[in-house]
Amino acid sequence: MTRAWRSVVALSGGVGGARLMHGLSRVLDPDAITMIVNTGDDFEHWGLSVSPDLDTVMYTLADLAHEERGWGLADETFHAFERMAAYGEDAWFQLGDRDLATHLTRTRALRAGEPLHAVTARLCRALSVPCRVLPMCDGPCRTMIETREHGALPFQTWFVRHRTQPTARGVRFDGSPPPAPGVLEAIEAAELVVVGPSNPYVSIDPILSLAGVREALARRPVVAVSPIIRGEAVKGPLAAMITELAGRAPTAGAVAAHYGDLVRAMVVEAGDEGTVTGVPTLGTRTLMRTRADSARLAREVLTFAEALC
């Protein structure tokens, strides 16, 4: 790397964004990075406050995430879950035993009035997460998926319980809390903002929906990594969502078009460059299977971004 970045902000949903964040946290001074994470997927399960994307980011950055599964901890058991199922409690969303400690700690803290960003910072310290992780907001902002079959469904109900089967006809966010303390300040101070390869509709748009975030981003150089590779989403329902919500083929270009003026450059899978118009585009290997992949992609994004800043 030729440049010493002093302040980089990354926006992320779950796995893809978390892996790029992991790469950034390994190639940059950890003090130079602020991760801003989607909490639109947060929900209550078994009476516990669960923040799936925050947890994926925390566990990934702490090198504790289960890599293949894409959620939860690598070294995990499901004994409480098995008994919950035996008790007839909701069994459509699995929480591991060690993972439960995160939700118990968070739930108790929130009930006691500690804001989400504060308990997240505590959990990150305990997990030795090397860089700053902020939830996008402290207050509830809930991603709702509009479906024909079931009306509006909370994201996890649609995503996990219904396995994304009801077609998403629209997405809305219930609640408009202010961004968490530090979010706007981090963006305003950022030399570079990296939008991770996350689902634009349900992982990044919730962050963009918060008051002041779009305006702050508009003043900073923003580069986005495409979550679409050769017409397919690496994970999740994004390809079908682009078709349904944007009325176009699922391409890196469709992602770029969705972000519009917000992004100054795109990083896409090599071969997908042709789908993007209007912004400088880097083609490279964007699939991150290993930590080395994440670090290489993070380096390439930063080097590519040097020209923008």
Applying CB under 8 A, the residues found at the interface with a second copy are 46-48, 76-77, 79-84, 86-89, 96-98, 100-102, 104-105, 107-108, 111, 122-123, 126
Residue 53: CB minimum distance to a second copy, A:
19
CB nearer to a second copy: pick between 84 and 257: 84
Q: Which CB, 48 or 240, lies closer to a second copy? A: 48
In the complex, least distance from residue 112 CB atom to a second copy, rounded to whole angstroms? 9
Backbone angles phi, psi at 32, to 5 degrees: -90, -5
Question: Smallest distance from the beta carbon of 122 to a second copy, in angstroms?
Answer: 8
User: Which among 178, 193, 211, 256 is positioned nearest to 36, based on CA atoms?
Assistant: 193
Tell me whether residue 58 or residue 305 sits nearer to a second copy (CB atom).
58
Residue nearer to a second copy on the CB measure, 105 or 157: 105
Rounded Cα distance between 244 and 266, Å, is 23
**Distance in Å, CB of 219 to a second copy, minimum:** 38
Least distance to a second copy, CB of residue 79, Å: 4
Of 87 and 277, CB closest to a second copy: 87
Q: What are the beta bridge partners of residue 193?
A: 9, 222
Cβ proximity to a second copy, 102 vs 143, nearer residue: 102
**CA pair distance 101, 180, nearest whole angstrom:** 23
Return the number of the residue (110 or 308) whose C-beta is nearest a second copy.
110
CB nearer a second copy, residue 101 or residue 287: 101
- Exposed / middle / buried, residue 280 (Cβ in 10 Å: 0-12, 13-18, 19+): middle
For the CB of residue 163, give the shortest distance to a second copy in the complex, in Å. 24
Instruction: Give how far Cα 60 sits from Cα of 96, 128, 206, 241, Å.
Output: 16, 11, 21, 26
Cα–Cα distance for residue pair 53/51, rounded to 1 Å: 6
Element (H, E) at 205: helix 205-208
Supply φ then ψ for residue 306, to 5 degrees. -55, -35
Calculate ∠ Cα 177-179-180, nearest 5°.
110
**Where on the phi/psi map is residue 305: left (φ > 0), alpha (ψ -120 to 50), or beta?**
alpha
CA gap 45, 48 in Å, rounded: 5
Provide the minimum distance between the beta carbon of 76 and a second copy in the complex, in angstroms, as a whole number: 8
Tell me how far the alpha carbon of residue 217 is from its chain's centroid.
17
| Token pair in block for residue 157 | 């109900």
| CA distances in angstroms from 262 to 62, 71, 172, 175, 226, listed in the order given | 30, 29, 20, 23, 14
Minimum Å gap between C-beta 134 and a second copy is 19
